[in-house]
Structure 1
């Protein structure tokens, strides 16, 4: 079985791309070698992202770190998935013509409010990403086409996002 190289990109690499990295690594069960990075990494993983992964998904992300996508320049990547619009627009060209898909989610780190309100928003974003990851993992290798992977990003929109069906 081939292990697919996946890079999940965001701007800060502090929450959304971390969710994608840890959820896909767990759900993919060795089928995907997953890493995440940011265009302008914050230098720290948001503590609520680590908490959500631990409490909701029983995943230990205490070793997660916010890093630049420059660390992966020149590497062979099979799938590049952007999870924020800024990363999508600034995404560099990767060698080997990987499948590039956009699975945009709102930025939980930008949400203001009480810690409980912020936590709920982090949970909602993680849930959206988890559903997309589950769909991605459900495809057999021969069906992981560019169109199929790109279409996953149009699935599971959150209330308030463009195109959200009520």
Structure 2
């Protein structure tokens, strides 16, 4: 009976050890939710991919124009001038490597351009009537809205 129990336990240990060795013998895989990131000049952006088959000892390498910029699993970058930058991420282990190209678009710190048709001549509204204001906003970066009346915020909708 002891021999059977010992053989059973030995089999279980062998199965789990075999699975672990099989996992570490697979090349890494880079999983990206997106490949294009946006930021403004001097504003940091962090790229945090997910990975598969990356045991201890996996090497991470981020390069820009052939120069190493990081050896960490994630990249935090802050551009000092506008433009599009292409980073190459290489992840390698004993079983192989995976590569991914990531673009970071750095925009200037230009404020959004806002135009509100009819604002020059003003608006007339009957009491208890609604006035729909539809501004045209042009910006390279995402914008947020805040509408105020007499210093109090009344809406954060775009219209």
Structure with the bigger RCO (C-alpha within 8 Å, sep 6+) is 1
TM-score normalised by the chain length of structure 2: 0.22
More helix by share: 1
Based on CA coordinates, which of the two structures has the bigger radius of gyration? Answer: 2
TM-score normalised by the chain length of structure 1: 0.22
